[in-house]
Amino acid sequence: MIVHMSRTATPEDQNRVLDRITKMGFKYELLGATGINVVGILGDLSQVPESNFADLCGVAKVMRISKGYKLVSREYSAKSKVIELGGGVMVGGSELTFMAGPCSLESVEQMMAIGAYVAPMGIKIIRGGAYKPRTSPYSFQGMGLEGLKLLATIREKYGLKIVTEATGLHHHIDKDGNKETRNVLENVIEYADIIQIGARNMKSYGFLQELGILTKDCKKPILLKRGDSSTLKDFLLAAEYIVANGNPNVILCLRGIRTFEEEKFQRYTPDIGAITVLKRESNLPVIFDPSHSAGYRANVAGTALAAVAAGADGLLIETHNDPTNALCDGDQSVTEDQLKDIKSKADAIWNLLK
Amino acid sequence: MIVHMSRTATPEDQNRVLDRITKMGFKYELLGATGINVVGILGDLSQVPESNFADLCGVAKVMRISKGYKLVSREYSAKSKVIELGGGVMVGGSELTFMAGPCSLESVEQMMAIGAYVAPMGIKIIRGGAYKPRTSPYSFQGMGLEGLKLLATIREKYGLKIVTEATGLHHHIDKDGNKETRNVLENVIEYADIIQIGARNMKSYGFLQELGILTKDCKKPILLKRGDSSTLKDFLLAAEYIVANGNPNVILCLRGIRTFEEEKFQRYTPDIGAITVLKRESNLPVIFDPSHSAGYRANVAGTALAAVAAGADGLLIETHNDPTNALCDGDQSVTEDQLKDIKSKADAIWNLLK
Amino acid sequence: MIVHMSRTATPEDQNRVLDRITKMGFKYELLGATGINVVGILGDLSQVPESNFADLCGVAKVMRISKGYKLVSREYSAKSKVIELGGGVMVGGSELTFMAGPCSLESVEQMMAIGAYVAPMGIKIIRGGAYKPRTSPYSFQGMGLEGLKLLATIREKYGLKIVTEATGLHHHIDKDGNKETRNVLENVIEYADIIQIGARNMKSYGFLQELGILTKDCKKPILLKRGDSSTLKDFLLAAEYIVANGNPNVILCLRGIRTFEEEKFQRYTPDIGAITVLKRESNLPVIFDPSHSAGYRANVAGTALAAVAAGADGLLIETHNDPTNALCDGDQSVTEDQLKDIKSKADAIWNLLK
Amino acid sequence: MIVHMSRTATPEDQNRVLDRITKMGFKYELLGATGINVVGILGDLSQVPESNFADLCGVAKVMRISKGYKLVSREYSAKSKVIELGGGVMVGGSELTFMAGPCSLESVEQMMAIGAYVAPMGIKIIRGGAYKPRTSPYSFQGMGLEGLKLLATIREKYGLKIVTEATGLHHHIDKDGNKETRNVLENVIEYADIIQIGARNMKSYGFLQELGILTKDCKKPILLKRGDSSTLKDFLLAAEYIVANGNPNVILCLRGIRTFEEEKFQRYTPDIGAITVLKRESNLPVIFDPSHSAGYRANVAGTALAAVAAGADGLLIETHNDPTNALCDGDQSVTEDQLKDIKSKADAIWNLLK
> What is the percentage of chain C residues whose pLDDT exceeds 90?
71
Chains that touch C (3 or more CB pairs under 8 A): A, B, D
How far B109 CA lies from chain A's nearest CA (Å)? Answer: 33
The verdict on a CB contact (< 8 Å) between A206 and D229 is no
Asked if the model's pLDDT at residue C35 lies above 80, the reply is: no
The verdict on a CB contact (< 8 Å) between C260 and D229 is yes
Secondary structure element (H or E) that encloses residue B225, with its range: strand B222-225
Three-state SS for chain D is CEEEECCCCCHHHHHHHHHHHHHCCCEEEECCCCCCCEEEEECCCCCCCCHHHHCCCCEEEEECCCCCCCCCECCCCCCCCCEEEECCEEECCCCCEEEEECCECCCHHHHHHHHHHHHHHCCCEEECECCCCCCCCCCCCCCCHHHHHHHHHHHHHHCCEEEEECCCCCCCECCCCCECCCCHHHHHHHHCCEEEECHHHCCCHHHHHHHHHHCCCCCCCEEEECCCCCCHHHHHHHHHHHHHCCCCCEEEEECEECCCCCCCCCCCEEECHHHHHHHHHECCCEEECCHHHHCCHHHHHHHHHHHHHCCCCEEEEEECCCHHHCCCCHHHCECHHHHHHHHHHHHHHHHHHC
* C268: closest chain A residue by CA: A260
Q: Which of C172, C173, C237 sits opposite B135 (nearest CB)?
A: C237
Set of chain C residues whose Cβ sits within 8 Å of the Cβ of B210: 168, 170-171
Q: Which residues of B lie inside 8 Å of D (Cβ-Cβ)?
A: 258-260
The reported pLDDT for the residue numbered A173 is: 93
* A257: closest chain C residue by CA: C260
pLDDT digit string, tens, across residues C215-237: 999 999 999 999 999 999 999 99
* B246: closest chain C residue by CA: C137
The verdict on a CB contact (< 8 Å) between D259 and C271 is yes
The reported pLDDT for the residue numbered B35 is: 55
Contacts of B45 (CB under 8 A, 6+ apart): B1, B26, B64
Q: Which of A135, A207, A241 sits opposite D237 (nearest CB)?
A: A135
How far B240 CA lies from chain C's nearest CA (Å)? Answer: 7
pLDDT band at B173 (very low <50, low <70, confident <90, very high): very high
The reported pLDDT for the residue numbered B72 is: 94
pLDDT digit string, tens, across residues D8-18: 888 899 999 99
For an interface test with B, which of A73, A226, A276, A297 has the most B Cβ atoms less than 10 Å from its Cβ?
A: A276
pLDDT band at A48 (very low <50, low <70, confident <90, very high): confident
For an interface test with C, which of D228, D254, D267, D276 has the most C Cβ atoms less than 10 Å from its Cβ?
A: D276
Q: Which of D262, D274, D306 sits opposite C310 (nearest CB)?
A: D306
The verdict on a CB contact (< 8 Å) between C270 and D265 is no
For an interface test with C, which of A258, A260, A262, A266 has the most C Cβ atoms less than 10 Å from its Cβ?
A: A260
How far B250 CA lies from chain A's nearest CA (Å)? Answer: 21
Q: Which of D44, D134, D184 sits opposite A139 (nearest CB)?
A: D44
- Which whole-number Å values give the CA distances from B124 to B97, C23, D251, in the listed order? 8, 45, 62
| A151: nearest Cα among A207, A193, A198 | A193
* B280: closest chain A residue by CA: A298
Q: Which residues of A lie inside 8 Å of C (Cβ-Cβ)?
A: 258-260
Taking the CA of residue A190 as centre, how many other CA atoms within 13 Å lie in the half-sphere pointing to its CB?
9
The reported pLDDT for the residue numbered C32 is: 63
pLDDT digit string, tens, across residues C265-278: 888 999 999 999 99
Architecture of domain A83-353: Alpha-Beta Barrel (3.20)
The reported pLDDT for the residue numbered D35 is: 55
How far C46 CA lies from chain D's nearest CA (Å)? Answer: 21
Set of chain C residues whose Cβ sits within 8 Å of the Cβ of B229: 228-229, 258
The verdict on a CB contact (< 8 Å) between C273 and D303 is yes
How far A327 CA lies from chain B's nearest CA (Å)? Answer: 25
The verdict on a CB contact (< 8 Å) between B206 and C133 is yes
Set of chain D residues whose Cβ sits within 8 Å of the Cβ of A233: 135
- 3 state SS of B37: coil
Q: Which of C201, C205, C233 sits opposite B134 (nearest CB)?
A: C205
How far D276 CA lies from chain B's nearest CA (Å)? Answer: 25
| B280: nearest Cα among B247, B304, B310 | B310
pLDDT band at A33 (very low <50, low <70, confident <90, very high): low
Q: Which of A79-93, B26-40, B248-262, C47-61 has the lowest mean pLDDT?
A: B26-40
| C184: nearest Cα among C221, C242, C131, C220 | C131
- Which whole-number Å values give the CA distances from B325 to A199, A307, B138, B299, D171, in the listed order? 42, 32, 19, 19, 55
Q: Which of C269, C299, C349 sits opposite D269 (nearest CB)?
A: C269
* B257: closest chain D residue by CA: D260
pLDDT digit string, tens, across residues D109-133: 999 999 999 999 999 999 999 999 9
ipTM above 0.95, yes or no: no
pLDDT band at C294 (very low <50, low <70, confident <90, very high): confident
The reported pLDDT for the residue numbered C345 is: 98
Q: What are phi and psi of C100, to 5 degrees?
A: -145, 155
Q: How far apart are alpha carbons B154 and B148 in whole angstroms?
A: 10
Q: Which of C133, C203, C228 sits opposite B200 (nearest CB)?
A: C203
Contacts of D208 (CB under 8 A, 6+ apart): D197, D201, D238, D241, D242, D245
Chains that touch B (3 or more CB pairs under 8 A): A, C, D
* B258: closest chain A residue by CA: A259
The reported pLDDT for the residue numbered B120 is: 97
Which amino acid, residue B297?
Answer: R
Set of chain A residues whose Cβ sits within 8 Å of the Cβ of B276: 266, 298-299, 301-303
The reported pLDDT for the residue numbered D33 is: 53
Set of chain A residues whose Cβ sits within 8 Å of the Cβ of D204: 133, 167-168, 200-201, 204, 207
For chain B, the distance separating the N- and C-terminal CA atoms, rounded to the nearest angstrom, is 33
Asked if the model's pLDDT at residue B31 lies above 80, the reply is: no
Q: What DSSP line would sit under A203-226, residue for residue? A: T-HHHHHHHHHHTTTT---EEEEP
Q: Which of B262, B270, B273 sits opposite A232 (nearest CB)?
A: B262
Q: Which of A296-310, A324-338, B74-88 has the lowest mean pLDDT?
A: A324-338
Q: Name the β-bridge partners of B42.
A: B27
How far A260 CA lies from chain B's nearest CA (Å)? Answer: 7
Domain boundaries, chain C: 2-63, 83-353
pLDDT band at A322 (very low <50, low <70, confident <90, very high): very high
pLDDT band at B116 (very low <50, low <70, confident <90, very high): very high
Q: What are phi and psi of D163, to 5 degrees?
A: -120, 130
Q: How far apart are alpha carbons D162 and D196 in whole angstroms?
A: 10
The verdict on a CB contact (< 8 Å) between C170 and B133 is no
The verdict on a CB contact (< 8 Å) between C310 and D303 is yes
The verdict on a CB contact (< 8 Å) between B43 and C204 is no
Q: Which of B138, B234, B244 sits opposite C43 (nearest CB)?
A: B138
* C259: closest chain D residue by CA: D259
pTM, two decimal places: 0.91
The reported pLDDT for the residue numbered C111 is: 97
pLDDT digit string, tens, across residues B234-278: 999 999 999 999 999 999 999 999 888 777 888 899 999 999 999
Asked if the model's pLDDT at residue D184 lies above 90, the reply is: yes
Q: Does CATH place domain A2-63 in 3.40.630?
A: no
Other beta carbons less than 10 A from residue D331's beta carbon: 16
Q: Which of C139, C203, C237 sits opposite B136 (nearest CB)?
A: C237
The whole-number average pLDDT for the span A347-354 is 97
pLDDT band at D337 (very low <50, low <70, confident <90, very high): very high
* C302: closest chain D residue by CA: D310
- 3 state SS of B121: helix
* B229: closest chain A residue by CA: A260
Q: What torsion, rounded to 10 degrees, do the Cα atoms C145, C147, C152, C153 define? A: 130
Contacts of A152 (CB under 8 A, 6+ apart): A162, A191
